[in-house]
Every structure is written in C-alpha cells, then in structure tokens.
Amino acid sequence: MKIHIGLLVILIFAVTCSAADISGKWLAQITGPTGSKSERIFTFQFSGDQLTGTVTNLQVSLATFQEEGKPPMTGTLKTQNADPQAISEGKVSGDDVSFAIITRTPFGDIRAGYKGKISGDTIKFTIEQSGGMGGPMGGGQPQEIVAKRVTP
C-alpha cells in the first residue's frame, strides 16, 4: 500500500511540474504611450523545456481608401515593417516562460528579455530592454503585455 501511495505522489508531482505546451500562434495587442496601436505575433515551437520561434511586429492604423467615383471605405491597415525576429534563450518551466529577442544595430545589440506567466490561453509578459548605445532603453521601465492564443 505504501508503494502505491508513493507512486501516486510521484505521479502527481510530475504532472504538476511539467511545462505547459505553448506551441502555436499567440497575439498581443498593444497601445503605446502616444496612443499608437500595434500587434505582436508570437509563433512558438516547444519541445521538452526548450522554446524556439519568432516574434513579428505589426503597426495598426485606421485608414480611409477612396476610388474615383466610389464612396470612401474605412478600415484597419496592418503593416509589417521588418522580418520576424528569432527567439533565443527560450525556456518553459511549469507555467513560467522566458526568452530573448536580440536586434543587431550599428550602435550595438539591443536585447529584449521576455518573462511571462502562462494561464490557460493567456500569457502575461514583462519585457525589459537593454543595450544599443549602452545601458537600459526605454527609461529602464519594463513593459507589460498580454498575449492570447490564436492557434494551437
């Protein structure tokens, strides 16, 4: 009987300590301090405790289009200004996720470190940036965003 209880305790511990599989697409909608809107698309691949993938940034604008002789049409315009960026240093442990995005510039590398907490189909991230011309960027203030699962 003691063996069965011991095995049950080990099984419960193993299930609760396993990392969440966050593979798939996730979307964060962001409003900047000036009111500008953007979206960040996370495409994650997860294996074991290793996380890889990309992050794509989109600018979101309200736009009006008009063809000659037709009424104007208003809609949302999403533009991608750069290629998706590769995730490095990716790890998932239980409901914690962390990774970095390294951007190479003429003034040095800029590192955006992401740390998040997974809760179902939501990840709450804190992002801290450093590098470039030396020291923290963005006034050293971390940014918080929430990503929601789009596809499994």
Instruction: Report helix, strand or coil for 140.
Output: helix
Query: Structurally, how many domains does the chain consist of?
Result: 1
Non-local CB neighbours of 120 within 8 Å, separated by 6+ positions: none
Q: Are 57 and 77 in contact (CB under 8 A)?
A: no
Closest CA relative to residue 125, chosen from 103, 98, 102, 149: 98
Does the residue 9 lie in any domain? no
Closest CA relative to residue 95, chosen from 73, 121, 129: 121
Range of the domain at 127: 27-151
- What is the pLDDT, as a whole number, of residue 3? 61
**pLDDT bracket for residue 127 (50, 70, 90):** very high
Does the residue 7 lie in any domain? no
Does the residue 76 lie in any domain? yes
Look at the pTM and tell me if it is higher than 0.95: no
**pLDDT bracket for residue 63 (50, 70, 90):** confident
Q: Tens digits of per-residue pLDDT, 3-36?
A: 644 444 343 444 334 567 899 999 999 998 888 8
Does the residue 42 lie in any domain? yes
Q: Tens digits of per-residue pLDDT, 134-144?
A: 555 445 689 99
Does the residue 20 lie in any domain? no
The pLDDT mean for the chain works out to 84
Instruction: Report helix, strand or coil for 34.
Output: coil
